[in-house]
Amino acid sequence: MSKLAPFDNLLQQYNAFEYHHDPVLLKRLNDAQHWLKERIKHTHQAHFDQPKNQLMAQYFLNRLYGGPDFDPLALQIERLLKYAHKAEKLLPDNAIKTGTKSVSLAVLAMQLDEQIAIQLLKDYPADAPITDEMMRQTLVKLDQKEQRLIQLQLLDDLGEALDKYMRSLMMYAAFKMCKGAAHKYQFDLMYEFIQEGFVAMKPLKSAEQFIKTFSAVERDIIEKVHSDHPDPFR
- Residue 79 CA to its chain's centroid (Å): 20
Under 8 Å between Cβ of 68 and 26 = no
Asked whether residue 231 is assigned to any structural domain, the reply reads no
Handedness of CA 176, 106, 40, 147 (dihedral sign): negative
Asked whether residue 77 is assigned to any structural domain, the reply reads yes
Asked whether residue 234 is assigned to any structural domain, the reply reads no
Share of the chain above pLDDT 90, in %: 50
Asked whether residue 22 is assigned to any structural domain, the reply reads yes
- Give tens-digit pLDDT for 102-120: 888 889 999 999 999 999 9
Question: What does the longest C-alpha to C-alpha distance in the chain come to?
Answer: 54
Asked whether residue 232 is assigned to any structural domain, the reply reads no
- Give tens-digit pLDDT for 14-24: 999 999 999 99
Under 8 Å between Cβ of 84 and 78 = no
Determine the 3-state secondary structure of 183 from DSSP: helix
d(CA 18, CA 149): 24
- Give tens-digit pLDDT for 162-221: 888 777 766 777 777 777 777 776 777 777 877 888 888 889 889 899 999 999 999 999
Domain that holds residue 137: 5-225
Q: Is the pTM of this model over 0.85?
A: yes
- The structural domain count of the chain equals 1
In the predicted structure, residue 4 carries a pLDDT above the cut 70:
yes
Under 8 Å between Cβ of 99 and 182 = no
d(CA 142, CA 8): 28
**Eight-class DSSP state of 48:** H
Q: 29 phi and psi, to 5 degrees?
A: -60, -45
Q: Sorting pLDDT into bands at 50, 70 and 90, what band is 97? A: confident
Asked whether residue 190 is assigned to any structural domain, the reply reads yes
Q: Which residues contact 64 (CB under 8 A, 6 or more apart)?
A: 102, 105, 106, 109, 155, 158
Asked whether residue 151 is assigned to any structural domain, the reply reads yes
- Give tens-digit pLDDT for 47-71: 999 999 999 999 888 877 766 667 7
Asked whether residue 233 is assigned to any structural domain, the reply reads no
